[in-house]
Structure 1
Amino acid sequence: MTGIPARMIWALGVTQIIGYGTLYYSFGTLAPAMAATFGWSEAWLFGLLSASLLVGGLVAPFAGRLADRHGAGQLMGWGSLAATLALVLAALAPSGIVFAAGLVAIEVASAFVLYATAFAALAQASPREAPRRITHLTLIAGFASTLFWPITGALHEMLSWREVYLIYAATNLLVCVPIHFWLARGQRLRSAGRRDAPATVALLPPERQRGTLLLMLAGFALVGFVSSAVTVHMVPMLSALGAGAAVTAATLLFGPAQVLSRLLNLQFGRGLSQPMLALIGALALPIGLAVLLLGTPWLPGVAAFAILFGLGNGLYSIVSGTLPLVLFGSVGYGRRLGLISAARLIASSAAPFAFSLVAGAATTGIAVAAAAAIGVVAVGIFGLLWWVARAPAGDQASRALTSEA
């Protein structure tokens, strides 16, 4: 069986950097100007983003089933074309209603082009290699925030938010669309030249899968809430806490910390099970927020927060793809990724608005403390999931699949 070629990893990595950078990370930087254009408060604008994320979450399971049925590469090709059109619609919106439709379209398109579908493409190419290749992919894509926060800021100093969105639409059209359809063509050629790659076995017996799946979805939902609340509000949050001078340092450290988590996983993660990696990733988020509250406004405290939160966010990105593959096997993998995306997006759809609402009604510090408390609950859930996965029925399979990952 032919493995996953390196060019596929790099190609997907480029599209994930562009996808996350243009469809997600750019919003927080451009939000004040967007709100001013339509005469909205920023809290109202983030409420609109929350509603759009909710719609994207509801679409995600459907996208996962389509990836299983028709191939993830082809789905990503059409998805990146839809992302292009959605960015154009938002950029040219003559009214707030049309802009809202464009923002919803952006989040729907995201369900077809970001990590969940990319992970499914890797699993379809080689289920046995997929866990390690997912780490390689997230290692590359971890630079999205590091690149696009400053790029978006620099572009916005020279151009309006509408012009920035048009540039990002052109980037999706000229880079992501051709790459994704090229990947789809390679997927078809591989399928025509050999039998389907053998499926991987599930760690858990059938009678334990439903409850474990629900537990996993709850954990990813809470982590997604914390991650979305903090990353969307990263720049204004740090400024409100009095760390405005450290914003640049934090945004520059966050992305490399995500990359560092993936490097550490590649070097030292072989001896750890995927449930343990999920627990470690969840733990880093509330610790990072606690450090932020205690260390602000001093630069070392803000830097430590950015590194810890980036490490946790980076591990979370990995295990959202590897954990369901290891626990439940590769059959129906796209559908399970769709469920994880739905749980994460539905929960995190409320996060930007909720964070903005709490910060406005109370203080930003209280909003950060509330996010940390939610992170602690997520730690408890992943701790329970780790305990469930250690049960004797799964020990032998766990050791075998950990070595593969």
Structure 2
Amino acid sequence: MSERVPIPAVVALGVTQIIGYGTLYYSFSILAPDMAAQLAWSSEWVFGALSVALLVGGLTAPWLGMLFDRVGAARVMTIGSFVAAAALAACAFAPNKTVYVAALIAVEVSANLVQYGAAFALLVQIRPLVASRSITYLTLIAGFASTIFWPITTVLHAHLTWQHVYLVFALLNLTICLPIHWWLSCQGTTHSAKASTAVPRVEGILSPARRRLGFAIMVTGFSLMSLVSSAVLVHLVPLLSGLGLGATATLVGALFGPSQVSSRLINMVFGKNLPALHLALIAAALIPSGVLVLLLSAPSIPGAMIFAMIFGMGNGLLSIVAGTLPLHLFGSEGYGKLQGKMIAARLVLSALAPFVLAFAMENIGITLSLGITAALGGLSIIALASIATL
């Protein structure tokens, strides 16, 4: 068995991840105002519908994770591309609010079938011995999703309604992503974990007696990081405005994406031999550190720029370690099921975090809310560091 990274598979998956995240996630914030106007809803209700969809998607993730192991992640992703296209089309043709919300839930469920959790499981099933490096390369490519799809969505929306934009995106999932996933499923390299013993396994470093506790601690650490990331990013503009930095929102947004990609590139070049747990600790430290920089430096524009870079780099590394640390700790057997459970915990908190932070800002103020948010992020460092003692 070759131990080389399967470059064709990684590049192909990179294309589908860019389209998957671009069409199913990043486009929503741009199209939401038009959706609200057409549905005669307030923007808060439209984003509330998204939170419900994320919550339901999170609750289905453990079951979907088991499918990755049982039938092969590539087959699941092939079906997921079809479901994503159908769900986007259903949103576009929704005759009323009830159907729209149901279709939006289908969109978020389909996202779990085609985005990082599924792609990571596929890379582990193809070549588990080099899966960590494959995941690093994949996240580097997929990191351009927002950079590519924010302007694409904006340009399309300047000439089309949100419904027509969603139909274009449905076509992308159907004509590009589905054939790629189908091609990967036909390569003979993906497999159900129970159906093949030909592919070598990666053994996790945790003993069986410690795995349940180790998994709970790891999920806690990742969930806290996701909570901080989701809460801050959703409320970035009001946070900056409340701190006297409203004019820097565009600048911060421009720095955030490249910072994510740069952290992944730095890790790819210089972090090849860095243990996955150490990389997770770096990511856990960067996210709350960025929040503290913003809190302590406001209303300094250079401080806001440093926040964007530190926070973006932490989020960039989080995407990598969410794939590599479970493999390092628990091995390749049952990896899809582990990803499903992690996705569930992270999505549930990501869905709730914006509401919690909005309530906190309204009742205790932005400064104290940010301080508590940074403290919660700091707890993720403690959680992940404790894994080393198991």
Same fold (TM over 0.5): yes
- 2:156 match: 155
Cα offset, 1:281, TM superposition: 0.3
Aligned to 2:200, which of 195, 198, 201? Answer: 198
State whether residues 91 and 166 of structure 1, in contact with CA within 8 Å, keep that contact through their aligned partners in structure 2.
yes
- 1:320 match: 322
Cα offset, 1:99, TM superposition: 1.3
* Per-residue Cα deviation, 1:77-116 (whole angstroms, up to 9, x for no partner): 1101111111111222222211111111111101110101
State whether residues 125 and 191 of structure 2, in contact with CA within 8 Å, keep that contact through their aligned partners in structure 1.
no
Cα offset, 1:42, TM superposition: 3.0
1:94 counterpart letter in structure 2: P
State whether residues 126 and 189 of structure 2, in contact with CA within 8 Å, keep that contact through their aligned partners in structure 1.
no
Q: Which runs of 5+ in 1 are unaligned?
A: 390-405
* Per-residue Cα deviation, 1:339-389 (whole angstroms, up to 9, x for no partner): 11111112212123333444455655555444323212222212222x325
Structure 2 counterparts to residues 2-401 of structure 1, below 5 A: 2=2, 3-187=4-188, 196-235=198-237, 237-238=239-240, 241-360=243-362, 367-385=369-387, 387-388=388-389
Cα offset, 1:316, TM superposition: 0.7
Between 1:375-384 and 1:105-114, the stretch displaced more is 375-384
- Give the 4+ runs in structure 1 shifted more than 6 A: none
Cα offset, 1:189, TM superposition: 8.3
State whether residues 240 and 249 of structure 2, in contact with CA within 8 Å, keep that contact through their aligned partners in structure 1.
yes
2:284 counterpart letter in structure 1: A
Cα offset, 1:311, TM superposition: 0.7
Q: 1:86–1:304: structure 2 CA closer, same or farther, 3 Å change rule? A: same
Aligned equivalents of 2:286, 2:319: Cα separation in 1 = 13
State whether residues 274 and 323 of structure 1, in contact with CA within 8 Å, keep that contact through their aligned partners in structure 2.
yes
Give 3-state SS (helix, strand or coil) of 1:331's partner. Answer: coil
1:26 counterpart letter in structure 2: S
Q: Normalising by the residue count of structure 1, what TM-score does the alignment of the two structures yield?
A: 0.88
Cα offset, 1:233, TM superposition: 3.9
Aligned equivalents of 2:106, 2:227: Cα separation in 1 = 21
Aligned equivalents of 1:171, 1:239: Cα separation in 2 = 36
Aligned equivalents of 2:298, 2:90: Cα separation in 1 = 39
Percent sequence identity is: 50
State whether residues 51 and 350 of structure 1, in contact with CA within 8 Å, keep that contact through their aligned partners in structure 2.
no
Give 3-state SS (helix, strand or coil) of 1:65's partner. Answer: helix
1:346 counterpart letter in structure 2: V
State whether residues 228 and 351 of structure 1, in contact with CA within 8 Å, keep that contact through their aligned partners in structure 2.
yes
Aligned equivalents of 1:29, 1:83: Cα separation in 2 = 19
Aligned equivalents of 2:367, 2:157: Cα separation in 1 = 28
Aligned equivalents of 1:171, 1:363: Cα separation in 2 = 43
Give 3-state SS (helix, strand or coil) of 2:206's partner. Answer: coil
Between 1:219-228 and 1:137-146, the stretch displaced more is 219-228
Cα offset, 1:293, TM superposition: 3.0
- 1:395 match: none
Cα offset, 1:48, TM superposition: 2.1
State whether residues 152 and 164 of structure 1, in contact with CA within 8 Å, keep that contact through their aligned partners in structure 2.
yes
2:304 counterpart letter in structure 1: V
State whether residues 14 and 142 of structure 2, in contact with CA within 8 Å, keep that contact through their aligned partners in structure 1.
yes
2:344 counterpart letter in structure 1: A
Cα offset, 1:239, TM superposition: 5.2
1:67 counterpart letter in structure 2: F
* Per-residue Cα deviation, 1:57-85 (whole angstroms, up to 9, x for no partner): 11111111111111111110110111111
Q: 1:295–1:240: structure 2 CA closer, same or farther, 3 Å change rule? A: same
Between 1:361-370 and 1:164-173, the stretch displaced more is 361-370
1:57 counterpart letter in structure 2: G
* Per-residue Cα deviation, 1:258-299 (whole angstroms, up to 9, x for no partner): 111111212222343211111110111111122223444544
1:251 counterpart letter in structure 2: G
Aligned equivalents of 1:190, 1:381: Cα separation in 2 = 33
